[in-house]
């Protein structure tokens, strides 16, 4: 899972057009002020454990920058290894549910062309990117590192 986190004075979007993979959505758009926007690419192999780690990162940054609310914004352009749409929607909903307990949160709908306006604050922590990997991938990487150290 790839995250691009932007601490914004304002984020506003408007639904323009459905794509073939659009989830059901009745709204027309949404606007939030003093918001941490998480642009999210759900990738192949991502699961609930990855989503939980991503939520930890998002909440950690939100608290650090003192964001007042969080917007989850599906964003296919951060990865060339995207999951199938069903997995993406399932994990984005799961993330929304986890965050709801601690923070005001809005999840933008998956699978729509949207116009948006964002104003990024510009302080050093106002733009951050994160790559979240699953346990297995981490273990694989750790093993490889060990192999390298040995050989």
Binding interface with its own copies (CB under 8 A): 4, 14, 16-17, 76-78, 80, 113-124, 126-129, 131
Residue 111 backbone zone (phi > 0: left; psi -120 to 50: alpha; other: beta): left
- Shortest distance, position 16 Cβ to its own copies, whole Å: 4
For residue 61, give every residue at least 6 positions away whose Cβ sits within 8 Å of its Cβ, in sequence order, or none: 5, 7, 36, 67, 125, 128
Q: Which is nearer to its own copies, 3 or 51 (CB)?
A: 3
8 A C-beta contact, residue 49 and residue 134: yes
Q: Output the smallest distance, CB 114 to its own copies, in A.
A: 5
Q: How many residues does the chain have?
A: 151
69 or 120: CB nearest its own copies: 120
Query: Is 49 or 125 the residue whose CB approaches its own copies more closely?
Result: 125
Which among 80, 65, 77 has a CA at the least distance from the CA of 35?
Answer: 65
Contact predicate 98/72, CB 8 Å: no
Q: Which is nearer to its own copies, 103 or 116 (CB)?
A: 116
**What is the nearest approach in angstroms of its own copies to the Cβ of residue 88?**
16
Minimum gap (Å) between residue 100 Cβ and its own copies? 27
């Amino acid at each position: 899972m790839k995250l691009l986190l932007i601490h914004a004075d304002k984020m506003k979007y408007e639904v323009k057009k459905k794509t073939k993979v659009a989830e059901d959505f009745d709204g027309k758009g949404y606007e939030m002020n003093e918001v941490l926007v998480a642009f999210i690419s759900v990738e192949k192999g991502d699961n609930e454990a990855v989503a939980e780690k991503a939520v930890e990162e998002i909440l950690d940054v939100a608290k650090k920058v003192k964001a007042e609310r969080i917007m989850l914004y599906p964003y296919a352009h951060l990865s060339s290894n995207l999951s199938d749409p069903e997995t993406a929607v399932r994990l984005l909903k799961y993330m929304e549910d986890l965050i709801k307990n601690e923070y005001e949160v809005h999840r933008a709908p998956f699978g729509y062309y949207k116009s948006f306006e964002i104003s990024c604050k510009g302080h050093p922590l106002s733009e951050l990117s994160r790559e979240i990997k699953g346990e297995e991938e981490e273990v694989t990487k750790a093993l490889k590192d060990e192999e390298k150290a040995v050989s």
